[in-house]
Structure 1
């Protein structure tokens, strides 16, 4: 009996590990609202998932479509819920328990509000209340990002309600890239310009800018001081516990995101930028892969390190 039991144990030990999750979990479906910081964080997560044997995908869409996609479970995870700027848009979904916001932010210390070139601040444009005084120099324009964003909504609300004398100003909606083109052009020409800005983002070291004070009502205190949270479809972490564990483990820093975003701004593929950063900074994997295996149930950390070592 002992020999038979020993033989059975040896057979079990030599048997291949079973898949940790069903085949439906192999494709992890991320949402991205088209911001470079979300491209960076999603790129980092995607590279790690590839190293674990998953096939992550990304859908770029506006905030309303992202939250609706998580509600309908057509999307699995979104790494870019900025609180408080996106809170008005996501609150109805939270109240309806239509999706799940993970309790711990994946990034702390972020900010999101209006900014100007520092030379504009030197001329007296330092607060939200100063904007109206420079209407002529600003050509009556405030540059936002993509239509449907909560940042744009706050600007439009100020204009529509004539808050701080901004009635008659025009909100210029385009995209993150479009806004940055206009801001950069104004910097080169030393023109006055007001635009939505945030950190983390390479703009903070590419341009000498000043965040405007006095926007607590619109964007929150501390220059729109923000925390960024991960949002998942209601059943994602139960249906795909291993991938869900990784997504829940992901924590970023301002410095990390700034450095991954910089090459993305130069048109480098986000996953290539993320892979290069991870190759230089593999120490973050210890925390991210704590309790995480490969898709087929093998040790996760060694698998991802081996994947990153490949050329």
Structure 2
């Protein structure tokens, strides 16, 4: 369950319970972040940790990391969110443990039918300003996707100086996109991979000649930790630094969770069971908080999972 923790709980150090420490994962309200955090949470629970999920906007999670109220976050997008957490990294309040996603991308997209109308590149947007109401539909305020689009407007890139970003929830934006695709109407919106939208909708990413959204490999997703986590719990920090998946895997998690409405725990356990070798590699040589072999602890925990989960 995603929730804000009481202040009294947030004030406790992860070290408060040495036998079974509690890891506080900061999770923004994005389906990809929720699914990825669920996979990590199941692995951590299997290897001797309690896990609390702190659900909040990304900027609040970065603040929580800097204050030591959140232990880790798996959804720091670069370059979109770098301005929000970068200064705290430079100040030593947040630590980058590594990248956790391969094949990520961000950009502006339109229904694929729009390409037949000549809307192929971001350079074409100005010519379609009236039909698009000079509006880019996007997601939650403070998200990296919004920040990059807002920066393009502020710089008058592609003639977007008098445009606006219309923020909303991810769900609301995708409902708008689904309606536009179904009715064959023009719209432009913030899009990214991994996400189920790339499978569910017939959409096209607009060319970005200026490279504002970055080319191949420019989009990265980082794992962040509070300062001191590596010293307090080196085994935990090492696991988090090793955790990395590809965009296709995460898209499948999101599809199962968001479109098929499978419980996150079930999605996570099924993937872990089907990819046990990968997970064992992440845990190789590591120990649980009780000093046991982490890979063996995972295997024992999986044996106790209901047989309907991993099949």
So what's the TM-score if we normalise by structure 1? Answer: 0.86
Q: CA deviation at 1:136?
A: 2.6
Q: Is the 8 A contact 1:108 1:226 kept in 2?
A: no
Q: How does 1:26-105 map to 2 (within 5 A)?
A: 26-102=21-97, 104-105=98-99
Q: Secondary structure at the match of 1:146?
A: coil
294-303 vs 63-72, which deviates more?
Answer: 294-303
Structure 1 residues 208-234: Cα deviation after superposition (integer angstroms, max 9, x where no partner): 211111264532234x83121111011
User: 2:281, 2:116 → 1: CA distance?
Assistant: 44
- 8 Å Cα contact 1:31-1:59 kept in structure 2: yes
- What does residue 280 of structure 1 align with? 274
Per-residue CA shift, 1:246-282, capped at 9, x if unaligned? 2122111122111111112133332321112112222
Secondary structure of the structure 2 residue equivalent to 1:142? strand
Q: Structure 1 residue 191: deviation in Å?
A: 0.9
- Map 1:152-191 to 2 at 5 A: 152-191=146-185
1:221 corresponding residue in structure 2 = 215
8 Å CA contact 2:77–2:144 kept in 1: the answer is no
- What secondary structure is seen at the aligned counterpart in 2 of 1:213? coil
The equivalent of 2:191 in structure 1 is 197
Matched length: 289
Q: 2:99 aligns to what SS in structure 1?
A: coil
Does the CA-based 8 Å contact 2:285-2:293 persist in structure 1? no
The answer to whether the Cα contact below 8 Å between 1:37 and 1:200 also exists between their aligned partners in 2 is yes
> What residue number does 1:7 align with?
none
* 8 Å CA contact 2:21, 2:50 repeated in 1: yes
Q: Which residue of 1 aligns with 2:225?
A: 232
Stretches of structure 1 lacking an aligned partner (at least 5 in a row): 1-20
Which secondary structure does the structure 2 equivalent of 1:56 belong to? strand
**Aligned-pair CA distance for 1:22:** 6.4
Check conservation: 1:110, 1:226, Cα contact below 8 A: yes
Give the 3 Å change call, closer, same or farther, for CA 278–113 of structure 1 in structure 2: same
Which structure has the bigger radius of gyration? 1
Give the conservation status (yes or no) of the 8 Å contact 1:112–1:225: no
Q: SS in structure 1 opposite 2:145?
A: helix
- Structure 1 SS opposite 2:103: strand
- Which residue number corresponds to residue 3 of structure 2? none
In the other structure, the counterpart of 2:262 is: 268
Alpha-carbon shift at residue 68 of structure 1 (Å): 1.0
In structure 2, C-alpha distance between the alignment counterparts of 1:162 and 1:48, rounded to whole Å: 45
- After superposition, where does 1:13-28 map in structure 2 within 5 Å? 23=17, 26-28=21-23
Q: CA deviation at 1:154?
A: 2.8
Larger RCO, structures 1/2 (Cα 8 Å, 6+ apart): 1
